[in-house]
């Protein structure tokens, strides 16, 4: 990796992360070989219709996913971004991941576009709660609490989307890590950053659908590139 960035030239830096950010932590992917949707049908486990039909089954599936994620640990790339955020102001993460790895590494300014495996919400009240307090997965109103993540067929949370768009359209450096650029609306973020005048850098072992938009593409793994880049 030969690219060196003078970070003092940039005021607002956004790291935009996807499933590839967690690959070296061994978090199971969704697609590809070994992906979750090869083993489980999303129609049975990851949509509102499935939850309405059999909430216990869907909740059990998410319990298994949480357990799998908690058995993994953040890698050197996660730690490098966390150290970088501690070292200066103006650093934010916009992540498509629901695995909580950036939090576990110590980052604070995190916008979770697709929610979190570690929160639940009540469809009657619309409240979002950390999972910690719940063992029964029932709200005081009697409603089952559903995982606070974006399932198939769900819309993105409007407030979260607005926050992400505001960060991205006001950043001057946009660093994308481990995203294929095929899942919308997040796939449109590099173009928004570029149009707003940000320098856009991509970190990915393979070219993505959106590689053509980036000023620089660093070909490699997040856990190897980030510690070196953010030194």
**Residues in the site for ligand NAD, rule: CB under 6 A?**
18-20, 22-24, 27, 29-31, 96-99, 114, 177-180, 182-183, 203-206, 208, 221-222
CB 97 within 8 A of CB 74: no
User: Closer CB to ligand NAD, residue 117 or residue 167?
Assistant: 117
Catalytic pick among 38, 114, 125, 128: 114
User: Closer CB to ligand NAD, residue 139 or residue 177?
Assistant: 177
Please give the Cα distance from 16 to 98 (Å, whole number).
13
Angle, vertex CA 195, rays to CA 191 and CA 199, nearest 5: 85
User: Closer CB to ligand NAD, residue 85 or residue 112?
Assistant: 112
Distance of closest approach, residue 192 Cβ to ligand NAD, in angstroms = 16
Neighbours of 137 (CB within 10 A): 17
Active site residue 114: yes
Please give the Cα distance from 214 to 121 (Å, whole number).
37
Element (H, E) at 228: helix 222-229
Distance of closest approach, residue 204 Cβ to ligand NAD, in angstroms = 5
Distance of closest approach, residue 59 Cβ to ligand NAD, in angstroms = 18
What amino acid positions are annotated as catalytic residues? 114
């Amino acid at each position: 990796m030969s690219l060196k960035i003078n970070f003092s030239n940039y005021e607002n830096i956004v790291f935009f992360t996807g499933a590839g950010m967690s690959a070296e932590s061994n978090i199971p992917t969704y697609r590809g070989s070994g992906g979750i949707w090869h083993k489980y049908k999303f129609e049975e486990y990851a949509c509102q219709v499935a939850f309405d039909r059999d909430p216990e089954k869907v909740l059990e599936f998410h319990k298994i996913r949480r357990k799998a994620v908690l058995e993994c640990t953040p890698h050197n790339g996660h730690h490098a971004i966390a150290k970088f955020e501690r070292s200066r102001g103006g650093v934010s993460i916009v992540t498509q991941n629901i695995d909580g790895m950036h939090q576990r590494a110590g980052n604070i300014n995190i916008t979770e576009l697709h929610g979190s495996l570690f929160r639940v919400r009540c469809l009657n009240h619309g409240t979002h709660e950390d999972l910690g307090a719940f063992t029964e997965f029932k709200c005081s109103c009697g409603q089952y609490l559903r995982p606070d993540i974006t399932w198939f067929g769900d819309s993105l949370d409007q407030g979260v989307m607005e926050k992400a768009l505001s960060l991205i359209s006001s950043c001057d450096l946009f660093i994308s890590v481990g995203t294929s650029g095929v899942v919308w609306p997040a796939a449109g973020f590099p173009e928004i950053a570029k149009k707003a005048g940000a320098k856009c850098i991509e970190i990915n072992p393979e070219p993505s659908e959106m590689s053509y938009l980036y000023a620089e593409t660093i070909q490699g793994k997040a856990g190897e590139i980030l510690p070196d880049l953010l030194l």
